[in-house]
């Protein structure tokens, strides 16, 4: 039997490009090479597509993928040159221009099967404000919030926020991930500054009620038949997980399964499935919750391309459910192929 070609698209234009390289390197090492042939393509910070390594067998431990620091411009290709009949693409890309539906749309136009959520669910989940509105309609609990759109009266919004929410609040660009551009504000003055900072990343800003809570995450896998994992906890030793704490200091400790009551676990799994369906998701997502000392559960966000290194929360949640990393990749490829057939069948 000939091998299935798996195309890893990694890097990308968003601030999360370094995480993407780590995720892609993990995938290329873990793939079952009896079944797969792996081709890799780097998307540079400038948005150029660059052809990188191909692997027919497991790469050595010191094999590295390209980064913006080691970029070889002469290997640049046209984006559509990644096309290959029957190949499945794994867009291991996080953040805007990767996880937000744009790459997914590009792959659909190319008529290529791909791993993960479709255009709609990717775009909605990437926009924290639209996600809030979808969750509201699905009856999934979340923290109170206000919204500031660039061009609106800033002082009016600060007054509205001070009336509706209680400091501290969290200010977030709607479209970001990995804590980029997010800050905590304790008063009107800090709120003004936090909005200014967030506006550097997006013109849509979400202002959220700050809560003191444990951070609990649920893995989601499936198309029509959606499966969820037992939750895991991101144990905190810093005030909040900014980019530095998450990826540079590596200060994350994971507790899998989370040490919480069974009923709370069940409730979170139910909310995660409900949210994923409301979003129209397929493939995968990691659903992140806040769990307060007084027992409140709030859904914080869904990540449709969660950190995917072998030691990231999402793969570890599945490993805890008895699905090892390399089998998880295989399952995701299968789900991607299934969605491709489904999508094509709808084009009547
Ligand atoms: N409303 C909130 N209350 C308390 N902490 C928050 C709140 N929103 C975000 N945080 C903290 O900031 C981190 C990043 O926020 P999040 O919304 O998850 O953005 P990202 O998409 O960057 O992961 C969270 O993991 C949490 O530690
Ligand atoms: Mg988060």
- DSSP class per residue in 36-64: EEEEEEEEPTT--EEEEEEESSPPPTT--
**Does 247 score more than 70 pLDDT?**
no
Q: Is the CB of 178 under 6 A from ligand 1?
A: yes
Residue 343 Cα to ligand 2 midpoint, Å, equals 30
Q: Which atom of ligand 1 is nearest to the CA of 178?
A: 22
Residue 176 Cα to ligand 1 midpoint, Å, equals 11
Q: For 125-141+213-342, CATH number?
A: 3.30.470.20
**Domain range summary for the chain, segments of one domain joined by +:** 4-114, 125-141+213-342, 145-209
pLDDT at residue number 271: 98
121-136 residue pLDDT tens: 999 999 999 999 999 9
Mutate to test the pocket of ligand 1, among 16, 300, 301 (most ligand atoms within 8 A of CB): 300
How would residue 240 be classed by pLDDT, with cut points 50, 70 and 90? low
Q: How many helices (H) and strands (E) does the chain have?
A: 10, 15
**Does 243 score more than 80 pLDDT?**
no
CA distance 52 to 69: 14
**Does 242 score more than 90 pLDDT?**
no
Q: Which atom of ligand 1 is nearest to the CA of 240?
A: 27
138-161 residue pLDDT tens: 999 999 999 999 999 999 999 999
Class for the domain spanning 145-209: alpha beta
Q: Is the CB of 182 under 6 A from ligand 1?
A: yes
Residue 177 Cα to ligand 2 midpoint, Å, equals 7
**Does 245 score more than 70 pLDDT?**
no
24-74 residue pLDDT tens: 999 999 999 999 999 999 999 999 999 999 999 999 989 999 999 999 999
Mean pLDDT (whole number) for 79-89: 97
Q: What is the side-by-side strand order in the sheet with 169-173?
A: 145-149, 204-209, 169-173, 183-185
163-216 residue pLDDT tens: 999 999 999 999 866 677 899 999 999 999 999 999 999 999 999 999 999 999
4-114 is classed in which CATH architecture? 3-Layer(aba) Sandwich (3.40)
Q: Is the CB of 24 under 6 A from ligand 1?
A: no
């Amino acid at each position: 039997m000939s091998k299935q070609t798996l195309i890893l698209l990694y890097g990308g234009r968003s601030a999360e490009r370094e995480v993407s390289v780590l995720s892609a390197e993990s995938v290329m090492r873990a793939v079952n090479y009896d079944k797969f042939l792996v081709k890799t393509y780097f998307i540079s910070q400038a948005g150029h597509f660059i052809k990188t390594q191909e692997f027919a067998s497991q790469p050595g431990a010191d094999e590295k993928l390209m980064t913006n620091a080691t970029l070889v411009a002469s290997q640049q290709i046209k984006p559509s040159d990644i096309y290959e009949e029957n190949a499945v693409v794994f867009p291991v890309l996080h953040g805007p221009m990767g996880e937000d539906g744009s790459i997914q749309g590009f792959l659909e136009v190319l008529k290529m099967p791909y791993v993960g959520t479709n255009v709609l669910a990717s775009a909605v989940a990437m926009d924290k404000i639209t996600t809030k509105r979808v969750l509201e309609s699905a009856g999934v609990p979340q923290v109170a919030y206000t919204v500031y759109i660039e061009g609106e009266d800033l002082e009016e919004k600060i007054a509205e926020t001070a009336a509706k929410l209680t400091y501290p609040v969290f200010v977030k660009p709607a479209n970001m991930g990995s804590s980029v551009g997010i800050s905590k504000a304790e008063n009107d003055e800090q709120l003004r500054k936090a909005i200014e900072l967030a506006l550097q990343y997006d013109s849509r800003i979400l202002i959220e009620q700050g809560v003191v809570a444990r951070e609990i995450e649920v893995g989601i896998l499936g198309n029509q038949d959606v499966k969820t994992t037992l939750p895991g906890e991101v144990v905190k030793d810093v005030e909040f997980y900014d980019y530095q704490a998450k990826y540079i200091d590596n200060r994350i400790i994971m507790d899998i399964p989370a040490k919480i009551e069974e009923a709370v676990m069940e409730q979170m799994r139910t909310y995660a499935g409900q949210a994923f369906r409301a979003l129209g998701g397929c493939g995968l997502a990691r659903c992140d919750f806040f769990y307060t000392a007084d027992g409140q559960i709030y859904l914080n966000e869904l990540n449709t391309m969660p950190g995917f290194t072998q030691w990231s929360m999402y793969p570890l949640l599945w490993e805890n459910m008895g699905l090892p990393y390399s089998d998880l990749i295989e399952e995701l490829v299968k789900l991607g192929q299934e969605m491709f057939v489904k999508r094509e069948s709808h084009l009547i």
